[in-house]
Amino acid sequence: KIKGKLIVTTSGSFDILHYAHVNLLEKAKNQGDILIVLLNSDISIKKNKGDKRPIVSQNERAKMLAALECVDYVSIFDDDKPLDYLSKIKGDIHVKGGSFIEERIKEERELIESWGGKYKTFELEEGYSTTNIINRIIDTYIK
């Protein structure tokens, strides 16, 4: 911020990293100069998606995300939503993509807008999801 860089944040589970995740991260990075990914911890994912998730551990997910050219920083959070991290970073733009429930993101949107930040959403890329990958593996190798 001191150097005048435009800071973009995004958040999510990114369990079984796939094509749509990478597209979202590249679109997010294109919105500014620095991309910070706020990554749901294993504990957070279990609360949101059940005991069978995540498939890939938080440290492995963080390492894969950090290795992507478009990602500058990754931070893992335990809460349901990354509100504390967003408040500390006070980024210029927060990006959300894929499947989200408008009521669930309302609090994030209001927080970002409270300091003049922008909240951008990108549409779901049909056919790409961690659940689809899991189901395809089950159908191919178990059934």
Active site positions, annotated: 47, 49
**Residue type (1 letter), 111:** L
Q: Which residues pair with 121 in a beta bridge?
A: 96
